[in-house]
Amino acid sequence: MKFRIYTTIALIALITGCKDKLAPVAADALKPTVVTQQTVHDTDDPAIWINKTDHQNSLILGTDKENGGGIYAFDLNGEIVKKYLDMARPNNIDVVYDFAYQGELIDIAVVTERNAHALRIFRLPELTPIDNGGLLIFEQETQKKYNQPMGVALYTAKEEEGKKVYAITGRKDGPSEGYLHQYEIKTDKQGKLSLQLSRTFGAYSGQKEIEAIAVDNELGYVYYSDETAGVRKYYADPSKGNEELAFFAQKDAKRDHEGIAIYKKDQQTGYIIVSDQQDNSLLIYPREGIDQQPHKHQLIAKIPVSAIECDGLEVTSESLNNQFNKGMLVMMSNGKVFQYYDWKLIEAQIEKNKQ
């Protein structure tokens, strides 16, 4: 009961405190089930780590993105349970499972550290660094904005492709082609990590920046938000080439297309979720495409939410506990918090839009 009171008060304060300066929350906006404790600086991007032996002890990871900020781990009640601080502006975060490391399989979180021009790698659930201080990326770039990493998403190649783990990274600015860099994360027997650049790819409109990236590991695609322009889709496997497969959502957002996540109903179907930052809403697209066209993604629902100017989001379809038994959507919100939404609330709105 005490926590319920806390989340309600936090939500009211968040909305009323920001309404005059930031995008207003719609009267019919979905309300979060949980609002986390506040970080110190400015929340940016979440990830979800599923505890495979006990889903109720899963963690929500989130970045706090100013210099001196770090990574926070929250429990399913929104309480801070771990943190790693004093980083050089951590930006985005993603998780991969069963990474081969020193003779065992471990789970890791990968974070972009913008002002260090590096990727950071942490063992989970301990949230301890295993990267000897960070791995430099965009090293060949001389322009300041071209070597500031922002977005990251992880792709694990299939068993027959060697089960390589890749980090697909975006940055503050870049060229009209080859904006994204894809690195294989490698490790030797002593546990020393390194990066090998596999390719540069991805078109860029030049209108704003590219930060939000998501990988559909089962279907083998990567999506990213070309802010104010739309959402672009490519193959995640570098051996399949750099052809742009789709460029959608071009007219669906008020301004910035932001966070991207993929809700998986099964191996083939589900939803692509994009945050419409200045509208405080979610844009929903069919993961499998429509009319037998896998790269045709048309808007099927627009759902108002209480998260204010959401920069990053993540979703899972895994049952976590009785409260989130069909999964959870996590959204960054202004006010130094993350908001958890019971997936059943989102699903009900999608079904309502279909009618």
Domain of residue 217 covers: 2-354
**Cα gap 24→308, rounded to integer Å:** 8
* Average pLDDT of the segment spanning 298-321: 97
Tokens of 70: 């770090």
**Cα gap 130→348, rounded to integer Å:** 42
Q: Is 335 left (phi over 0), alpha (psi -120 to 50) or beta?
A: left
Specify the pLDDT at position 160: 63
**Cα gap 212→226, rounded to integer Å:** 8
Total-model pTM:
0.93
Specify the pLDDT at position 81: 98
Specify the pLDDT at position 144: 84
Confidence of residue 20 (pLDDT cuts 50, 70, 90): low
Specify the pLDDT at position 6: 42
Please enumerate, as own/partner, the contacts of 195-198 that have beta carbons within 8 Å and a separation of 24 or more.
195/119, 195/135, 195/136, 195/137, 195/167, 198/166, 198/238
User: Which residue's entry shows tokens 């990830």?
Assistant: 47
Residues 6+ apart with CB under 8 A from 341: 30, 32, 33, 305, 328, 329, 330, 331
pLDDT at 270 over 80: yes
Answer yes or no: are the C-beta atoms of 308 and 15 closer than 8 Å.
yes
Residue 184 to residues 86, 152, 169, 199: CA-CA distances in angstroms? 27, 13, 11, 10
Domain count, the chain: 1
Answer yes or no: are the C-beta atoms of 113 and 149 closer than 8 Å.
yes
Specify the pLDDT at position 354: 77
pLDDT at 188 over 80: yes
Indicate which CATH number applies to the domain containing 236: 2.120.10.30
* Average pLDDT of the segment spanning 202-229: 97
Specify the pLDDT at position 335: 96
Average pLDDT, the chain: 93
* Average pLDDT of the segment spanning 30-44: 98
Which residue from 213, 186, 210, 209 is spatially nearest to 197, judged by alpha carbons?
186
Tokens of 91: 């930006």
Confidence of residue 13 (pLDDT cuts 50, 70, 90): very low
**Cα gap 104→113, rounded to integer Å:** 26
Residue 204 to residues 55, 160, 339: CA-CA distances in angstroms? 39, 32, 30
Confidence of residue 23 (pLDDT cuts 50, 70, 90): confident
Structure-model confidence comparison of residues 276 and 160, the more confident one: 276
pLDDT at 317 over 70: yes
